[in-house]
Copies of this chain bind each other. A is one copy, B any other.
């Protein structure tokens, strides 16, 4: 099981914007620079976050991205679904219906137990992700990070913010 590499930068960008403030705008170039990823690579994920209503895109030469809603109304699940799509990790192909001496498909009224069990596990995964808000991550970051990490982030935001 694997999440795409874009998830990490997407979550970090949303968290950095939340730390910068509700109305703070940061350009895509700065978001890419701070996380050491290519702007074109990041742009795809920023657009997905805009499409999902997590970020807002501010056009123009002094534009960029800002939160579309408050940090306590953005969960990790929102970001994962925005970037990865909503399809479950286990994609049942109904292979139970294949093979010799096939039965008519109406016999398979109940869902496959294997699919059911895999989806139950994914529900638990999504449940924890949906309980975790960007505001929780920010609080944890502020309480547990070395002060030099926080200072570096604040200095970068100050240099690049567009209000």
Contact = CB atoms under 8 A, between A and B. Distances in A.
A7 B121 contact: no
- How many chain copies does the complex carry? 2
Interface in A87-123: 87, 89-93, 95-96, 98-101, 103, 107-110, 113-114, 116-118, 120-122
A36 B99 contact: yes
Interface of A: 1-3, 5, 7-9, 11-12, 15, 33-37, 76, 80, 84, 87, 89-93, 95-96, 98-101, 103, 107-110, 113-114, 116-118, 120-122, 124-129, 132, 136-137, 140-141, 144-146, 148-149, 152, 155-156
Given A76-B117, A132-B117, A33 B99 contact: yes
A12 to B, nearest CB: 6
Contacts of A109: 146
B8 A93 contact: yes
A11 B107 contact: no
Given A2-B89, A36-B98, A118-B129, 20 more contacts: A1-B2, A1-B84, A2-B84, A2-B87, A2-B91, A3-B89, A3-B118, A7-B90, A8-B92, A33-B99, A34-B99, A36-B95, A37-B95, A100-B156, A101-B155, A113-B141, A117-B132, A120-B128, A120-B132, A124-B125
